[in-house]
Amino acid sequence: MRSFLTAFLFASTLAGVSLLPRAALAGDVLSVGVGALGGAGVVGLSKPGDTTIAVGGATGQDTSYPGFFGGTVGAGLSLDARLIGILGVEADLFYAFGEKGSGDLTLRPTKYNIEIGQPALHVPVLVKGVLPIGIVRPFVGFGPEFVLPGKSTAKVDLAGISTRIDARADSYTLLTLALGVEIKLPLPAIDLRIPIALRGSLNPSTSDKVTDRRDMALAGTQITGITYKSEWQYQGMVTAGVAYWF
């Protein structure tokens, strides 16, 4: 929550700057863009490398964790502040309507397809460098992306499974790299731009241990429930939008 408040205060500060009279912006040294954006992409959790577990004082291997891969789609608002058109900071409020991934879980002798995920609010805060030449202007951005998940769900494709399957996700932070272009429309009266970007994100807090990726409920040696953590390890997105600059 502290991460979200920091991002919110930062975005609010930029919004306040955007309300300053144009004369106070020191002759276009500082420019501000506000707009909307949408995007779609993929999310995923790889299989963990450390599959060691301990049950009843004995150790063993749990290779049942399937790994998950799926899609995401969303939309939101964007706020961009830039110095002399070159160096800036972009803060977005992006709501992902559904981030869901699926994988195959084998509980002998049956294989089950499981889908986990949730909606989530994303707040990326990216430091950007822009080449402000011509109509099509390349840019690169990098920074933290704060993620506040909604209610997680889990779905199994076959009825009759005796093991309860759930999912949960706490807030987490991605590191996001954005590569893209900003198309400045040749309009005489207003400054409208279309940003298009490819964004790749990594969750550095994702554990490589299977015991950190899911919680198991046991009755003796019988597995009665599995709760998967659906805080995504990887995310890739294509975003596009429109922004008004002043």
Map tokens 């994303």 to a residue. Answer: 122
pLDDT for the residue 165: 87
pLDDT for the residue 157: 75
Residues 6+ apart with CB under 8 A from 26: none
Helix (H) or strand (E) holding 148: strand 136-149
Give the DSSP letter string of 41-105.
Answer: EEEEEPPPSB-EEEETTEEEE------EEEEEEEEEEEEEEEETTTEEEEEEEEEEEEEEEEEEE
How many whole angstroms separate alpha carbon 241 and alpha carbon 23? 28
Spatial CA neighbour of 45 closest among 70, 72, 62, 67: 67
pLDDT one digit per residue (tens) for the chain, 246 residues: 445 444 444 444 444 444 444 433 444 799 999 999 999 999 999 999 999 987 767 788 888 889 999 999 999 999 999 999 999 999 999 999 999 999 988 776 778 889 999 999 999 999 999 999 999 999 999 999 999 999 999 998 766 667 788 999 999 999 999 999 999 999 999 999 999 999 999 999 999 999 999 988 877 667 788 899 999 999 999 999 999 999
The answer to whether the beta carbons of residues 223 and 57 sit under 8 Å apart is no
